[in-house]
Structure 1
Amino acid sequence: MFEIILFSLVALCAAIILACKYVVKAVPQEGGELSYLAEHSVEPWYLDYARSFFPVLLIVFLLRGFIAEPFRIPSGSMLPTLKVGDFILVNKYAYGVRLPILHNKVLDVEQPARGDIMVFRYPRDNQTHYIKRVIGLPGDIIEYRDKQLIINGEIMPRDPAGSYIPFSEKGRERESLRFTQTVRTGGPESAQVRFSILLDNFRRERPLQIRVPEGHYFMMGDNRDNSMDSRSWGFVPHQNIVGKAFFVWFHWNSHSGGGIDLSRIGAQVTAH
């Protein structure tokens, strides 16, 4: 929605500038008299505003549409990697150059890899953006049972990393177990990446086994037992991809009454 509003403002400013330059000044009034703009050197206020805002709005539109776009983390589904109140930057061209608003890909760059943190449009509501980690690639067979992740028959190792006590959505503390998960970015011989996940021993869920269809991805939150993801609402189509998260540029700590958390600024969110 914001990009539509931004594009509308860019188009409005451009229309005002062009109309005043080529239409209003060029057309004489009845009786052959020149228009107001032609007789007076003082430009109307709306033309002055349009000329001032047009380059700024255009640059913002192009940067957000093709280079990087900021997002705020609203929930704890990606703890401990991303915290509530993190403001992140998303690389818009990591998975291909797409046209703003239309979202049609015009240039391929690279494909998503397992372990990437990806922003995408929620399949059930394209106006809503979600952020999760890529777990399943097209054609993968994903199994999840007893809190253990299995991809194409291979158990993905996880190493204990102590406990973790995040704040819940309502500000209450709860303890989770922290693990370091290892996955392969692609095929059996591809590189391995590691990232932190949280597990809650008090929650149980039904075993899952599913094949990822072509052109789709299976997404999971790092806070495994407190995340609504592909386990509940299905796969993410390739055309719903927005970009790859890579950087925390700001953090506002709302749990302690508000304040900037300088320790979060500059945090890298890519798996390693």
Structure 2
Amino acid sequence: MEAFETILVVATLLTGAIWLLDKLFFAKRRAERGGLLDEEPVLVDYSRAFFPVLAIVLVLRSFVVEPYKIPTASMYPNLEIGDFILVNKFAYGLRLPINNHKFVALGEPKRGDVVVFHYPGYPCEVDGKIVRSGDRYCYQPETPVVNQNWIKRVIGLPGDRISFEDNTVSINGKPLAYQPLGAYADPRSGVPGAQLLKEELPGRPHEVLENLDAHVVSGEWVVPAGHYFVMGDNRDNSEDGRFWGVLPEKDLRGKAFLVWLNCSGWFCSNGFNPSRIGTRIR
């Protein structure tokens, strides 16, 4: 996804520059000469045709809405493998493409929001400094963070103390309530014996999956300013803040809000679920 973003930015700038340079310096000379050999070059013709289209796509994708595909089961039962989702890119501020730098602040994530973000990597101490590596054990200090976009749910806000123990999330010392909804049998969730529960997250109750007999990661995390604590809804099949810590605000990409298609495999060869179309992400 990031490679496509880079290609889109480069193609937009290149076609725009070719079109502008021709218009400022070469088009008048060709018009004055008026010979057959002075017709508009093919490169200029293509640049003039493609630049407006590329510019519109770049603006929409960078500042308005961006599509993503769900590749894993970490957000079951609410987001399924093969879901194509739309992400609101201006919900938390306008950010530059490629480097994700926020230059206009418009809002902050709320508890329960489903967010897309740059995977921040595992925190490791190297030479007295905390660095982030794509490898959880930080074998090589200079190893860059894996350039991926992930999706999870915001559980902890700045200043919160989050704990997870005995399959229960607690926020600032108050355990959340859970309402059993029965067994969940979809094998794609990757959690045998999963139970469907309604988690009473303040302001955003939602369904989660858990295997109540499984051994899961437990711990406590304090969320500093400018950070968030995120978790997957599929609690026994999600690599989230319980493993790699808090999420820096600078890594946010946007807020997921709609499923517009569900399709797995080339040309939906592994399945197409029309009932998922138009599903709001809550």
Gaps of 5+ in 2: 122-144
Residues 179 and 254 of structure 1, relative CA distance in 2, 3 Å threshold: farther
Report the RMSD for the aligned CA atoms in angstroms.
2.3
Superposition deviation, residue 206 in structure 1: 4.3
Gaps of 5+ in 1: 28-33, 185-191
Matched, 1:220 2:226: no
Superposition deviation, residue 21 in structure 1: 2.1
Per the normalisation by structure 1, the TM-score is: 0.87
Superposition deviation, residue 111 in structure 1: 1.3
CA contact (8 A) 1:25 1:38 kept: no
Query: What is the number of residues matched between the two proteins?
Result: 255
| Offset from partner CA, 1:179-238 (integer Å, 9 cap, x none) | 011112xxxxxxx22111000134203431121111111110000000000001111101
* Partner Cα distance (1:6, 1:201) in 2: 46
CA contact (8 A) 1:221 1:227 kept: yes
Match of residue 250 from structure 1: 261
Structure 1 range deviating more: 254-263 or 240-249 = 254-263
Superposition deviation, residue 100 in structure 1: 2.2
Superposition deviation, residue 254 in structure 1: 4.4
* Partner Cα distance (2:44, 2:260) in 1: 35
Correspondence list, 1:255-270, <5 A: 257-270=269-282
| Offset from partner CA, 1:146-165 (integer Å, 9 cap, x none) | 00110001111110011112
Match of residue 179 from structure 1: 197
2:219 to 208, 217, 226: 208
> Residue type matched to 1:150 in 2?
S
Correspondence list, 1:98-247, <5 A: 98-124=95-121, 125=145, 127-168=147-188, 174-184=192-202, 192-247=203-258
| Offset from partner CA, 1:237-256 (integer Å, 9 cap, x none) | 01111000000011104499
| Offset from partner CA, 1:45-78 (integer Å, 9 cap, x none) | 2222111111111000000110000000000000
Per the normalisation by structure 2, the TM-score is: 0.84
Structure 1 range deviating more: 44-53 or 102-111 = 102-111
* Partner Cα distance (1:38, 1:163) in 2: 77
CA contact (8 A) 2:192 2:211 kept: no
Match of residue 13 from structure 2: 11
* Partner Cα distance (1:200, 1:173) in 2: 7
| Paired residue secondary structure (1:224) | coil
Match of residue 24 from structure 1: 26
CA contact (8 A) 2:191 2:211 kept: no
Match of residue 31 from structure 1: none
